[in-house]
Amino acid sequence: MSNNIYIQGLGIISAIGNNAQECLDSLQSRADGVAKMNYLQSAHKNELPVAEVKKSNKELADMAEMPASLTRTALLSTIAAKEALADAAIESITDWKIGFISANTVGGMDKTEDFFKDFLQDASKGKLRDVVNHECGSATEIVAEELGATDYITTISTACSSSANSIFYGARLIRNGILDIAIAGGADALTKFTLNGFNTLMILDKEPCKPFDENRKGLNLGEGAAYVVLVSERVMKTLGKQPYCKLSGYCNANDAYHQTASSPDGTGSYLAMKGALEKSGLQLTDIDYINLHGTGTQNNDSAEGTAIKRLFDPHYPKLSSTKAYTGHTLGASGGVEAVFASLAIKHGLIYPNLRFETQIADQPFAPETQLIRQDVKNVLSNSFGFGGNCSSLIFSKV
Amino acid sequence: MYIQALGNISPQTDFNQLPQKVDYTSNHLKAIDADITEFVNPNIARRMGRIIKMGVAAAMASMKEAGLEKPDAITMGTAYGCLEDTGVFLKKLVEQNETMLTPTNFIQSTHNTVSGQIALLLKTHCYNNTFVHRGFSFESALQDAIMLMNENDAAHVLVGAADEITDASHKILSRFDLYKNNVANSEELFSQHTKGTIAGEGSVFFMMNKKSSEKDYAILKDVTTFYKPIGNHAITDRINKLLSSNGLSINDIDVVINGKNGDVQNDRVYEQLEENIFSGKTSITYKQWCGEFPTSSAYALWLAANIAKHQQLPADKTNRSIKHILVYNHYQNIHHSLQLVTAC
């Protein structure tokens, strides 16, 4: 039996769609999800555009068939994870060891913010039900129980690379015989905490973001959840459905330069991409498409570009960032982009990098600006974050 | 994997000085102050939150004891993350209505701050992962390390856990009726048979090696987690399964370290096992020294490693022959975990 890990199901909810089909349609029709803040109640409502999931908590609760009192992160996570598992069409999940590996950056912070308003006035005040799901692991458990995927449960939080790490941790649990099936990815809802945090760092664009553009001014925060269903070869052979692709390479490296900033030479990003390539056994020239981390900040795009130049020059694959569509969904972004990579391979697509105008002066490549239809065999997906955490995944056609 | 070195910043950190009876002044136990001046520039240290200092001090102490410059991977667990910085940023955000905020607390609030800081200090680009799953956080970090060694991706892994209590978190958790109001010492903790426990915090790191360094504390043979087992027999099944997959039976276990915390309902789970699978076993508790918190199982592993090395039980100078130690802990009867430790 081979060690291959197959991606058998996809589930996603983001600013550009409430499921994988809607997201795919939006990617193809250049319909981005960045807009004026509508659901998050923030003092920065009129000044900072965001990529919100276009549903209220009540509407999300109806979709998830869960109580609206849950955190928005738990609701988003439930919707995407249920879609992924249904899409995998596994007849009887109880026949297998099945686990749920999720990721997020601020847990139930959206409700904790409400709690804190009253709590700060009087420590005996604030509704406990608003803080009971504060921990990052809470949403994971709510969803794992809903899915019936409790043979192994954990949550990873490595800032913006969280769900790239949860996906390959899931794959490794399968390779090590701990699970047969892992539903893995991540979720993050927009919160005032993260919005204001990024705002203090002065890396939020007041206009829709322009990843990898010379005149980029920062990122737009987004929200969402996305999961892939990873299965062993043994499980895959029992299923009547072709897998989307396989997870062929992965690597986690650390930039070890600064708590929030990337090193100018992109050491962490370079090592993550290089390590993932080595793991996959592929050559540089085998990569058809790089789904960039591409947040739109000066620092990230410059460091990531430098790392790509260092690794790929002169054989640049086609590349683009999809964050101009979805915003930066933080703990969900690795999952969101894993779903996009899987769809790119299945449908033979390379997505446009929206709003790109001017090539970065010292970078010898530019992202794709139009939708391209071509055979896509191998996609490299980057997720880099605070704490120097850099992870890259490679998805390959079966 | 071999436990080569340890670092511990907890309420009680010296195995040879662990008191039989601990006197308490409140219902939360504070970790000792972490001194990081040896490793970190004082200007940087001053800005670090308490959990970061605890984690960095524990990690650097285990690196120093191991005599290693860089590990091949860093994996850690934290259930609550950097509560102090999170709380400060959140308070300002609410009180200042989202204006005049500064980035320092936000930057240090992310859950991977501790492991990121360790990487920065060690100047290492290696694999770096942080698990944030309540009572499974530390066990997931151990599982990650075991798999990295199985996959030949790492031979030396720095594994640890860190959690802190803040004034706000203690006030909030107290409202869930988790803690006893009047508990003067560790004897009362277990003799009152009432609701509630005592809160704890701390950070423990381990230098784990794939191969023996010839001066190891012990071997961590296996770790497993299980979620909300239904009934006593489900826990017993897990224990038997873990032991048999390591070629052992319950008869081979010399010492059980259990996670009793003084809460009458919580401890019933352990008592039922003591009447059955653990009956006749030497069974010791550990939370009287570190308090109850979701990553306390790292403290239990620190204790197990020391027991194996010293061949003595804590607070007891009798020399014994101890080969296999089983750590069984559950957190709120939701997160159950087993760690199997064998003397070298």
Domains of chain B from N-terminus onward: 2-209 (3.40.47.10), 218-342 (3.40.47.10)
Class for domain A5-238, per CATH? alpha beta
CB-closest option in B97, B106, B130 to A157 = B130
pTM of the model: 0.98
Burial annotation A296-316 (CB, 10 A radius, 16+ → b, else e): bbebbbbbbbbbbbebbeeeb
Residues B119, B31 contacting (CB under 8 angstroms)? no
For residue B80, report the phi and psi dihedrals to the nearest 5 degrees.
-100, -20
B175 contacts A137? CB cut-off 8 A: no
A271 touches chain B (CB under 8 A): yes
Residues A286, A312 contacting (CB under 8 angstroms)? no
- Dihedral sign for Cα atoms in the order B163, B167, B169, B170: positive
B112 contacts A258? CB cut-off 8 A: no
Minimum distance, in Å, between the CA of residue A43 and any CA atom of chain B: 6
Banded model confidence at residue B3, pLDDT cuts 50, 70, 90? very high
Tell me the chain A residues in contact with residue B174 when contact means C-beta distances shorter than 8 Å: none
A42 contacts B171? CB cut-off 8 A: no
DSSP B33: P
DSSP B34: P
DSSP A14: E
A224 touches chain B (CB under 8 A): no
A299 touches chain B (CB under 8 A): no
Tokens standing for A213?
């553009």
B333 touches chain A (CB under 8 A): no
CB within 8 Å of chain B, chain A residues 34-93: 42-44
- Dihedral sign for Cα atoms in the order B104, B110, B115, B116: negative
Q: Beta-carbon neighbour count of residue A43 at 10 Å?
A: 15
pLDDT over 90 (residue B314) = yes
CB within 8 Å of chain B, chain A residues 199-218: 199-201
Gap between the Cα atoms of B123 and B121, Å rounded: 5
Q: Could you tell me how many residues make up chain A?
A: 398
3-state DSSP assignment of residue A320: strand
Gap between the Cα atoms of B116 and B142, Å rounded: 18
For chain A, what are the domain ranges? 5-238, 247-396
B144 contacts A169? CB cut-off 8 A: yes
Gap between the Cα atoms of B277 and B296, Å rounded: 23
Gap between the Cα atoms of A196 and A190, Å rounded: 11
Tokens standing for A272?
């993550």
A388 contacts B120? CB cut-off 8 A: yes
Gap between the Cα atoms of B272 and A238, Å rounded: 41
Active site residue A293: yes
A254 touches chain B (CB under 8 A): yes
B130 contacts A201? CB cut-off 8 A: no
3-state DSSP assignment of residue A153: strand
Tell me the chain B residues in contact with residue A124 when contact means C-beta distances shorter than 8 Å: 175
Gap between the Cα atoms of B273 and B225, Å rounded: 17
Please give the torsion angle defined by the CA atoms of residues B286, B291, B296 and B297, in that order, rounded to the nearest 10 degrees: 20
Beta strands in A217-315 (DSSP E): 224-232, 245-254, 289-291
Which position among A160, A209, A251, A390 bears the catalytic label?
A160
Q: Which of A58, A329, A178, A161 is nearest to B140 (CA)?
A: A178
Q: What is the pLDDT of residue A1?
A: 52
Strand B127-131 relative to strand A372-373, pairing: unpaired
Q: Which of A228, A255, A254, A223 is nearest to A330 (CA)?
A: A223
Minimum distance, in Å, between the CA of residue B312 and any CA atom of chain A: 34
For residue B118, report the phi and psi dihedrals to the nearest 5 degrees.
-65, -45
B147 touches chain A (CB under 8 A): yes
Q: What is the pLDDT of residue B51?
A: 98
A386 touches chain B (CB under 8 A): yes
A269 touches chain B (CB under 8 A): no
Residues A341, A381 contacting (CB under 8 angstroms)? yes
Q: What is the pLDDT of residue A365?
A: 97
Tell me the chain A residues in contact with residue B94 when contact means C-beta distances shorter than 8 Å: 113, 116-117, 120
Gap between the Cα atoms of B128 and B108, Å rounded: 17
Tell me the chain A residues in contact with residue B172 when contact means C-beta distances shorter than 8 Å: 119, 128, 131
Fold classification of A247-396 (topology level): Peroxisomal Thiolase; Chain A, domain 1 (3.40.47)
Cis peptide before A352 (omega within 30 of 0): no
> Could you report the average pLDDT of every consecutive run of 10 residues in chain A (398 residues)?
90 98 98 98 97 98 97 98 98 96 97 96 95 96 98 98 98 98 98 98 98 98 98 96 97 94 95 98 98 97 98 97 98 98 98 98 96 98 95 98
- What integer is the mean pLDDT of B194-218? 97
Q: What is the pLDDT of residue B28?
A: 96
Please give the torsion angle defined by the CA atoms of residues A128, A130, A135 and A140, in that order, rounded to the nearest 10 degrees: 120
Same fold, A5-238 and A247-396: yes
B144 contacts A42? CB cut-off 8 A: no
Tell me the chain B residues in contact with residue A107 when contact means C-beta distances shorter than 8 Å: 132
Q: How far is CA B70 from the centre of its chain?
A: 22
CB-closest option in A42, A156, A256 to B124 = A256
Reported ipTM:
0.98
Tell me the chain A residues in contact with residue B122 when contact means C-beta distances shorter than 8 Å: 256
A387 contacts B113? CB cut-off 8 A: yes
A152 touches chain B (CB under 8 A): yes
**Average pLDDT value for chain B:** 97
Tell me the chain A residues in contact with residue B110 when contact means C-beta distances shorter than 8 Å: 105, 157, 159, 386-387
3-state DSSP assignment of residue B64: helix
Please give the torsion angle defined by the CA atoms of residues A189, A190, A196 and A198, in that order, rounded to the nearest 10 degrees: 80
Q: Which of B192, B118, B198 is nearest to B158 (CA)?
A: B118
Which residues, other chains included, contact A172 with Cβ-Cβ below 8 Å and sequence gap of 6+?
B147, B151
The residue of chain B nearest to residue A387, with distances taken between CA atoms, is: B116
B137 contacts A135? CB cut-off 8 A: no
Tokens standing for A121?
């006035």
A156 contacts B110? CB cut-off 8 A: no
Minimum distance, in Å, between the CA of residue A104 and any CA atom of chain B: 9
Minimum distance, in Å, between the CA of residue A120 and any CA atom of chain B: 7
The residue of chain B nearest to residue A154, with distances taken between CA atoms, is: B133
Residues A135, A143 contacting (CB under 8 angstroms)? no
